[in-house]
Structure 1
Amino acid sequence: MEPASAARMLLLIGSGPGVGVAVASHFTKQHFNRIALFARNPHQLQKDREAVLAAAASVNKVVVVGTWQVDISDPEQLQQALSEVEQFGRLECVYFNAARVGTSLFFQFPPESVEQDFRVSNSALYIVSRWAIPLLLQEGKSQPETNWKPSLLVTSSLLPKDPIAELFALSMVKAAQVNLVKSLDKTFTSQGVHIGLVVIGGQVSVDSPTLNPTVIAKQAWELFAQERKDWTPQVTLYEDGTVDWSESI
């Protein structure tokens, strides 16, 4: 096994069935040899770990997969997990996939639940960015590899542009999240960290030919794999199969 200092690491925050494990698995097959998974559910984390290991084995790769059971809405838990994962490998990419998805009806949804949603989608992303971006900048400058790609990518949707009333809380926090990501992009992409959004323009389903987790993971990879001169801030996948590289939100 290579030492942690020699490992290309993907940190996937919000692991789970669907987009999370699909991204971790596809990125492993393409590029990474160390994967760190963050999620609340320890049983799902173990399933995801096994799925990533199987994906690596399918292309005859060796990968080290670490799992952290963490509630990212708790700043102390999150910061502790980040300090531990920093010793796990050389950080090359953070993929932020965490969100609380569920119905929120006007005047029935408690204000404290709105605040909880904000902590998961925005406060946690801010904490992660504050930790990750200095590391990504440092690694990008110190690594001689021409294909080193320091990146911070975030799963998004069309809710910031077209909110759904029955999902008003999710719509709100995703709009705030896009604002944060765009601010990070304006500040740090020019310095050498690719900040980007993977915008999913519809409901994710394993039965969908266009918005299934595997297709989404492949497009997320295409965003990550761009050469620096070609970096774009987002990719949008639509239900009709269209893939848009312009700023859709």
Structure 2
Amino acid sequence: MASDTRGALVVVGSGPGIGSHVARTFSSHGFKRIILLSRDPSRLEKDAQFIRNKTPSANVSTLPIDLANTSGIPSALAQVDKALGDTPLEVVLFNAARVGPSTLVEWPMEELELDIKIKITGCYAVVQWAVPKLLAAKKSHKPAFLCTSGSIYKEPIPEVFSLSVCKAGQHNLVHSMHKKYKEEGVYCGMVVVGGVVADEHPECNAENIANKTWALYESRDDLQVEIVDP
């Protein structure tokens, strides 16, 4: 049973699109303790202000993280621990990605390894850190681990094969978590966006995606929600 007081929301891979909009939507539903992480520290404060404009009472912290530097992830997450303080971790949104073309066969192996570090190894490192905290919060809160994805996890596009491969790996990881932890009181789910995120798109716009993410979190039944434009 969730308490009247929300725990913390941690967004790994904040930005002007999905990450900040999800944080803003969750803040409007009572999440006042929000921690944003990104490898681009310069835009984090803009994301934080975007949330405060919606919810002035929100306590928003920003921290840099470079998931490509796997050896540095533990120290970055230790800073999140400090920022959490006594606030239980209730929700994690993993939204980190490196998006761009990757030509099949011609894409350097080192670049594929970098993508895997960010999207799969990095995600798993966050999972290892988060799951014990989420399990500890289940008696008083509604803990969840959410991950954004794309329909390329099941319908790969050769021109962005590296992203397709990594999204398939992420989907497998979160699906495994969904099977393992649902009965233990921690919801794990995927937000699958089947297109380019843009304000002019009727479905694949950041605000709609954020609302669908909140609905998925609240329902806590299905593995995922799929969002596609007509």
TM-score (norm 1): 0.86
| Structure 2 counterpart of 1:99 | 97
Q: CA RMSD in A?
A: 1.3
Q: Is the 8 A contact 2:150 2:193 kept in 1?
A: yes
Residue among 126, 129, 132 paired with 2:130:
132
What is the distance in 1 between the residues matched to 2:43 and 2:199?
A: 17
Which secondary structure state, in structure 2, belongs to the residue aligned with residue 92 of structure 1?
A: strand
Letter of the structure 2 residue corresponding to residue 207 of structure 1: E
Residue among 169, 179, 184 paired with 1:186:
179
Question: Pairwise mapping of residues 40-189 of structure 1 onto structure 2 (< 5 A)?
Answer: 40-57=39-56, 62-87=57-82, 88=84, 89-141=87-139, 143=140, 148-189=141-182
Letter of the structure 1 residue corresponding to residue 228 of structure 2: Y
Which secondary structure state, in structure 1, belongs to the residue aligned with residue 138 of structure 2?
A: helix
Deviates more, 1:11-20 or 1:230-239: 230-239
What is the distance in 2 between the residues matched to 1:74 and 1:103?
A: 22
What is the distance in 1 between the residues matched to 2:8 and 2:210?
A: 17
Unaligned runs of 5+ in 1: 1-5, 241-249
| Structure 2 counterpart of 1:236 | 226
Render the CA deviation track for 1:68-123: whole Å, top value 9, x for unaligned. 11102222322112122123231000000011100001232111110110111110
Deviates more, 1:79-88 or 1:187-196: 79-88
| Structure 2 counterpart of 1:245 | none
Render the CA deviation track for 1:153-172: whole Å, top value 9, x for unaligned. 00011001111110010001
Instruction: Report deviation, 1:7.
Output: 6.2
Unaligned runs of 5+ in 2: none
Render the CA deviation track for 1:125-170: whole Å, top value 9, x for unaligned. 11111111111001113x2xxxx21000000110011111100100
Distance change >3 Å, CA 7–CA 216, structure 1 → 2: closer
What is the distance in 2 between the residues matched to 1:74 and 1:183?
A: 25
Letter of the structure 2 residue corresponding to residue 181 of structure 1: V
What is the distance in 2 between the residues matched to 1:185 and 1:7?
A: 22
TM-score (norm 2): 0.93
Which secondary structure state, in structure 1, belongs to the residue aligned with residue 217 of structure 2?
A: helix
What is the distance in 2 between the residues matched to 1:220 and 1:7?
A: 17
Residue 213 in 1 paired to residue 206 in 2? yes
What is the distance in 2 between the residues matched to 1:107 and 1:194?
A: 37
Letter of the structure 2 residue corresponding to residue 71 of structure 1: D
Residue among 194, 210, 224 paired with 1:201:
194
Instruction: Report deviation, 1:48.
Output: 0.5
Instruction: Report deviation, 1:43.
Output: 1.3
What is the distance in 2 between the residues matched to 1:231 and 1:205?
A: 28
Equivalenced residues, count: 223
Q: Is the 8 A contact 2:92 2:130 kept in 1?
A: yes
